Amino acid sequence: MAEAARAYSYGSPARVPVRPERPRVRVVPGQKPRTGTQTAPSSLVVLAKAAAVVLVVAALLCCLRVAIGSATVAQSVQAQQLESQIAQARAAGSNLEVRQSALSNPTNVKNEAAKLKMAAPETVGTIDVGTDVVATDASGNLSLSESAHLAATAE
């Protein structure tokens, strides 16, 4: 313990670390120092900017061409679908015409009625219902006042 006390004694002079002497710097007024970087000529910068603009325009034109091509393909597919639907509608219309012709033929109607054990009526009569008393206005709605007027004049 005696040595530890001597190492940290407060009565001894403090040891200052020895620092090497720094070189003296002197500032001399004059021109600013030259840096190692060199600037590109202005014509090269203009040429690089023009090339960048040309590349951007070319990219936009390519994107536009792709968009127009895809729209063309989509329209072509839609046109083919419409043509298919038109062909189906024409075929259905032809089938309906043939069927209507067969159903409206009097001979076929008599044969079908005979199969169902139907016969022609002995007498034919008609019923006269008179004039219609229900009236509508210009917008197609029922008009009570006009209907009442028609009913009164019909009697």
pLDDT digits (tens, 9 = 90+) for 76-86: 999 999 999 99
Query: Tens digits of per-residue pLDDT, 1-56?
Result: 455 555 555 665 666 677 888 888 887 787 776 666 667 788 888 999 999 999 99
Q: For the stretch 92-122, what's the b/e string if a residue is b when 16 or more beta carbons lie within 10 angstroms of its beta carbon?
A: eeeeeeeeeeeeeeeeeeeeeeeeeeeeeee
DSSP for 73-103 reads HHHHHHHHHHHHHHHHHHHHHHHHHHHHHHH
Domains of the chain, residue spans: 43-114
Closest-CA residue to 150 (of 140, 141, 136): 136
